[in-house]
Structure formats: C-alpha cells, structure tokens
Chain A
Amino acid sequence: MNTNVVGSRVIREDAWGKVFGQSKFPADVNLPDQLYGVVVRSPYPHARVRNIVTEKALELAGVVTVLTAKDVPHNSHGVLFRDQPVLADYVRMVGDPVAVVGAETMEIARAAAKLVEIDYEVLPAVFDAEQAMLPEALPLHPELKPTNVLYHMPIRRGTMEDGWALADVVIENEYNTQHVDHAFLQPEAVLAYVDERGHMVVQTATQYAHYDRGEIAHALGLRFSQVQVKTLAVGGAFGGREDISLQIIAALLALTTLRPVKMENTREESFYSHSKRHPMRMYYKTGATKDGKLVAMEAKIVGDAGAYASWSINVLRKSAVHATGPYVIPNVSIDSFAVFTNNPYAGAMRGFGAAQTVLAYESQMDLLAKALGISALEIRLLNHFKVGSTTATGQVLTGSIPLDQCLAKIAPYLQKGDGIL
C-alpha cells in the first residue's frame, strides 16, 4: 500500500517540549495553598498494625492531618483483584503504606511522618517462592487463595514419552532471573484537588488514566463522573505505572482537607511504591534429534509474585505460552506458577513474563547446538515458527510470521572470525 504520511519520519509533537524543558511532568504542577502529603511505610515485611498514635505528629506546627486505614471509605485497589490496601492495617511487604501526613510544606510533612508511632505485631514472613508453595507455609491472601499459589498454568501437548524416545540429545538446566525495578527517570508525583464543580481532579503520570479514575472513585465512594484523571507528561513507565501508587492517597487527602494536595516520591520511596519484574526460577529440559529437530521440552517456571496479585496471573500465563521460544516442539509439558511471598510485589514490566523465559529457551538452543555440533543459527533455522506452524498451545500461526526474514537479515553478522564491528 502506498502511503504518504504513514511510514514517514514525522517529528513527534512532544519532542520540542521534552528537549527544551517546557513539558509539564506531574512534579512540575502546583496550586496555591496546596498541602504536601508524605506516606509512612511499613519497615516490616509481614505484620499486623496494633495501634497508631498520631498525636506527636499532629503537634508539629504546620501538620494538618494524619490519615490511616480507618479514614479510607473503601480501603482497596488492584488490577486483577482489589487485594491491595490504600492504607494498610495489615502489611504484607516492606513499604506498604500505613499512614499519610498532610502538612503545609514537604519538609514538615517528612518530619511529621517520622513522628507517627505505629505499633506492629510482627508476623513470620516467607521470601522464597518455592518455600512459600509448601503446604505448611502460611497463606498470605486466604481471602483469595487457600495457599500461596495464586496461579498455576499447565500446557500439555503431544506425549512426553514419545518425545524423549525420539531425542538423541537432552539438555537440562536451571535458570534464575532477578527482581528488576522499572527505574523510570521520573518518580511518582500527583496533584489532587476538588475543583469548582466539586469534582475530584487528579493530575498524574499513569499508563491508564481510566483505570486510575475507577480505582479512585471506588476507594473514595465517588461516581466515575465525579473524578477526572488527567495525564501529564510521563517520565518513563515500562509497566511500573499500571498499578495505583500515590493517586488514591493524594485524592483522599484532598477530599478530607478540601485543599489541593501535592505528593512526590523520593527515589527511595519510588522503589517501594511500584511493582517489580517477577524473579523466576525456571527448570528446563529440552531434547532434539541428531538432525537438530526439537522433539520434547519440559519446563517448570516459578514466579515470585511478592505480596500482592497485581498482574501475576497474566504474567505467568505469558511465561508459559512463550516458554518454548519461537520454535516448533511437538511434545511439551509446561507448568508455570505465580506464588505469593513477602517480597515487594511483582507486576507488569516490559516483556511481561515473556522476558524471563528468553534466557532459558535461548540458552537451551545454544547448548543443544553445541552438543549437536551445529551452529546457533542452524538450530534456529531448523526449528523456528513459520506460517502454518503450531505453537505449544495448539495455536496455528497464520498471517505475518516473518522470523525467517529476520534471521536472514541478521545472518551476515554471525560470520565467525572477524566479529561484527
């Protein structure tokens, strides 16, 4: 199809503002007479809040209010399940928000946050996903699941016995990936206020303004039509701005005090107030014939969901679906698990469960090639998906499946000897 504008190198309209510094990020917007909010976060990974004493904080000049769980009309939010408290009276991870201070300046709010006295009953915690799966492990979300296994996805295709019988070479390995932070450049910031219509207005950087609106409305008991979420310039996201961070807390402060409220995370607070990439332990066993054809693969993938569900079900589903890599394997048995622990909660991050498995399946491919005495390119050319291939989930691929063209284009860069520089 001939196109004029589509396919051309149009310069982005936001480029000028980003380069010359005119773009308004949420940290850049303020209103007269605004209050500053600072969150008091749990130092414990698992605890029940016995009591909160706010008097000392409130005595500090310039402190307007301290809000806790009892002040939230509907104290929950979450993308799949509303399993995350706005302000916790039961904490499941270090950094869970327990109280918020509203004060005349950011400095006073930070000082007052240190004066909020919280009495915790510290509970036993679990930090290893496979230990958390054991039947004796205490369930962290009994309201959702009787055990810490939030999700199990099996994929069964073909017959494993037949597959292993055909395999001349079998490679078995364990792979581990780490907790990763999105480390977007702009820490979370919010400006929330009740406007002249009586509507709650929340200006922030998010990946989904309409979701934020729904969660704010739910928590505060407002109608969708009474809440406006306006997205300002977003300083990086990568999945870390899908869950709610400060939006509801800032709106709660604004609704309670009827003053504009500004909140802005420090980098340290930012690390505690959004999700992480799931660490995964991946047990892989892959078999190929002496001709280099893949015939069988078994994988067990355990993902550490941390303290809350967030997107973990979808993430571990994506891990399972993509676990074979872009290769035809007729006999497959895959089990992926999302498991609650008391680690920072894991959620969406660029790649979304399909990023971790690349380490495993592509390492297996190179190891198989080495064992078979063929090149890394050859083993991939022998097995990659084409139009008409069937995936491990039985999906027949039609339409645009041009991995062959990608490999053809990159092949010259794999010439041995003089490198690709």
Chain B
Amino acid sequence: MKKRGIGLGCAWYGTGYGNGFPDVSSAFVEIHDDGSATVLTGAVDVGQGSNSIYAQIAAEELGLQAQDICVYSADTDATPDSGTTAATRQTYNTGNAVLRAVRQAKVSLLDYAAHKFSCPTAEGIELSGGYIGVKGDPSRRMPLADMVFQARLQGERFISAESSTARSTPVDPETGQGAPYWPYAFGCQVAEVEVDTETGLVHVLKVVAVHDVGKALNPTQVEGQIAGGVAQGIGYALLEELELHEGKIKNPALSSYLIPTALDVPNIEAFFVEEAEATGPFGAKGLGEPAMLPTVAAVINAIDDAVGVRITSLPATPERILQALADKKEEANLKGE
C-alpha cells in the first residue's frame, strides 16, 4: 500500500568561521577610464555564483550595470586573500569587503567630481545610470567615463583595497558560553512523501522551502541554492551512505554510492523572507549551507506521518523502513492490538 505523509523541519545556522577565528575578506577595486570597473578578490566562485554577486554589488554602488564590472577571483598572483569559500560566508563577508572597497574608490571619485562641479561637498554628487553629476540638477552631469578620463589626465586614479572582518567571539571552554557566530540564518521546509509499505521505498513528492536571506541579492541564485540544498538533503535523508568495511570504502563509485538524480528530486517551491541584516551587504546574509539543513527533518517527519514509524538512523533506506514497519507490527501484536 502507498501512504502519504507531510513533515516539517526547521533549522538554524551560524554563518562565518565562528568562535573568534579571524574571518577576514579582502578586495581590490579599480575604476577604469571608460567608466567600467574591475574587482579583484581571492574568494573562489565554486559554482554558487559569488562572482556575479560581487559584480552586482559593485555595479549598484557605482550606478552601473553588472556587465560593466569585471570580477576576477582566486588567483594568488593577482587577488588578495578572502578566506575559504565555506561557512556560508562569501556573499556576506567578501560581499562586505567588495562593498567597502568600491565605496573607498568612490570617495576620491566623488571628491574629484565635487571639485569639478563646484560643489562644496561630495555629499552633493551622485552616480546613476553611467553618469556622475550633481544631485537634483540633471543639467550638471557627465558620463562617468569622461570624468574618470579627465581625472587621469590630472594624475588622479580611483583604486582601492579594503578588508572586512566578521564579528565572532570564542566560547568559554568549560561552559560553552559566548557568542560564537554572527549572523544566524533560519529556514523551514515541508516535505510530502509517499511510502510504499510493500517495498519500503520512499518517494518525495514535493518540498516547500522558506529561507531567511536578509536580502536576496539575486533571487535566481537564491532559488538555485535552495533547489540544490533540497536535492542534497534528500540524498542525505534517503540515499547516500558510504559503506565501509574495516576502513575500506565498498562503494567508491556513483553506481553504488547513490546521489539523487533528476528522477529523485521533486517539484521544489522556494520562497525567501527578506528582513535586512544590518551588518550584511545591502542587508544580505548567506544561504549556501542553510538551504540543505531542514530537508532531512522534513522527510523523516513525513515518513512518520505517512506510516507511523520513526527512523532514527540515516539514510532511511527501504530496508530500514521495512524493518521499522515489521517492528511496529510486532509491538502491536505483543500489545494484543
């Protein structure tokens, strides 16, 4: 018989290295004569899209489009150290470093422009749509490229190097008391599963995921992180297990170490909650790891809802489901039910 159930899972995740370990990111910025710009950072884009996020941050700050920004990363001869692409820290931490570096390069640009426009303070200058000009006076503006080129002829260059360090303190080794991580990211997911009581096979029919991201700097990438996290979470809950015999891996192949395929991943509805994190770039916090956390609980709780068995050892293989169902039946028989 096939039985359906729904399960809920919540999770939290302290982002960053944590426990007082120096969590530093760095970036170099150069604004070019044609009004485009380059960002150099050591942060590796492992495929999650961090380079695009930095381009968006720099473009926003300079009144440009993302394609006006070249992001070059993770070459030790050219880029400054930005820490590991890990701990859900690159959007938040290197994002902050890029933002600080762009703002730093902007300081001298705005000062120079204020002088050119006879404006007594850089506060009166804005960058928008590829132009630089006086706030509130559309007649006094010029293409950013022209301004940077003119500046070069007078020996002015708009370059910067900045770092950003995340907040964290070590916990007390005896009591564990302290503030080890910041910020924390939250999320919850609901899974609907169908359990075949004859075969023990669990089929995930749908997952709804809601994650706290502070601010979605790129909603497409947020949805991508959530979809990937849910897929990996389903693998963790139902499929993946390294089989060891005296330390030797018995299934070192993707034919025997099973990860989810397109056929195992259900329809995923991804939502995000935007409540700005004051310390993050444009209010953002990281999502990379949190995206996979609630899935395992949602699936395991849904199995219980479907067939009334509590799986306490991962993964919830058909063998484990059938064993749990048999144990439940035996227990019921003993009680004379």
Contact = CB atoms under 8 A, between A and B. Distances in A.
Interface of A: 1, 3-14, 18, 43, 45-46, 93-95, 125, 127, 153-157, 173-181, 183, 205-211, 213, 224, 227-231, 233-239, 241-242, 267-268, 271-272, 276, 314, 317-318, 320-322, 325-326, 334, 342-344, 348, 350-352, 354-355, 358-359, 362-363, 365-367, 376-377, 380, 384-385, 392-397, 399-403, 405-407, 409-410, 413-414, 416, 419-421
List the 4 closest pairs (A to B, CB-CB), nearest first. Answer: A155-B176, A45-B247, A362-B297, A231-B74
Interface size bracket, B side? 35 or more
Contacts of A239: 86
A409 B175 contact: no
B187 interface: yes
A181 B240 contact: yes
Contact of B56 (A8, A241, A400): A8
Contacts of B186: 326, 385, 401-403, 406
Contact of A344 (B249, B257, B304): B249
A395 B182 CA distance: 10
Contact of B312 (A174, A320, A350, A358): A174
Chief secondary structure at chain A's binding surface: loop
B276 interface: yes
Contacts of A318: 14, 18
Contacts of A396: 179
Contacts of B210: 406-407, 409-410
Contacts of A352: 86-87, 289
Contact of A179 (B71, B212, B242, B288): B242
A365 B18 CA distance: 27
A416 B208 CA distance: 15
A400 B10 contact: no
Contact of B19 (A157, A317, A410): A317
Interface stretch (B45-53, B111-119, B154-162): B45-53
A276 B244 CA distance: 12
Interface string B254-285: 10010100000000000101011111001101
Contact of A272 (B14, B71, B211, B249): B249
A359 B11 contact: no
A214 B315 CA distance: 38
A380 B10 contact: yes
Given A419-B192, A420-B190, A125 B246 contact: yes
B144 to A, nearest CB: 15
B332 interface: no
Nearest to B85: A207
Contacts of A363: 297, 300-301, 310, 312
A95 B244 CA distance: 13
A242 B86 CA distance: 8
18 contacts: A11-B52, A12-B51, A14-B45, A180-B241, A183-B254, A206-B74, A208-B83, A228-B76, A236-B47, A271-B257, A321-B180, A322-B12, A326-B12, A355-B296, A358-B293, A359-B314, A365-B10, A366-B304
Contact of B249 (A155, A271, A317, A334): A271
A404 to B, nearest CB: 9
B324 interface: no
A406 B221 CA distance: 19
A14 B175 CA distance: 46
Interface stretch (B30-38, B57-65, B132-140, B145-153): B57-65
A12 B52 contact: yes
Nearest to B276: A400
B164 to A, nearest CB: 16
Contact of A421 (B180, B205, B214): B205
Nearest to A341: B247
A8 B218 contact: yes
B328 to A, nearest CB: 14
A155 B76 CA distance: 39
Contact of A407 (B10, B83, B247, B254): B10
Given A230-B76, A403-B10, A410 B188 contact: yes
B282 A6 contact: yes
B292 A350 contact: yes
Nearest to B190: A413
A208 B44 contact: yes
A397 B12 CA distance: 12
B73 to A, nearest CB: 7
- Give the most central of B56, B174, B188: most A CB within 10 Å: B188
A400 B74 contact: no
Contacts of B77: 228, 230
A156 B6 contact: no
B322 interface: no
A400 B294 contact: no
B273 A402 contact: yes
A94 B247 contact: yes
Contacts of A6: 56-57, 60, 215, 217, 282
A355 B240 contact: no
Given A406-B211, A410-B190, 9 more contacts: A5-B66, A10-B66, A94-B249, A156-B176, A314-B21, A351-B13, A352-B289, A358-B297, A363-B300
Interface string B74-97: 111101011111110000000000
B333 interface: no
B55 A237 contact: no
A130 B259 CA distance: 28
A350 B240 CA distance: 14
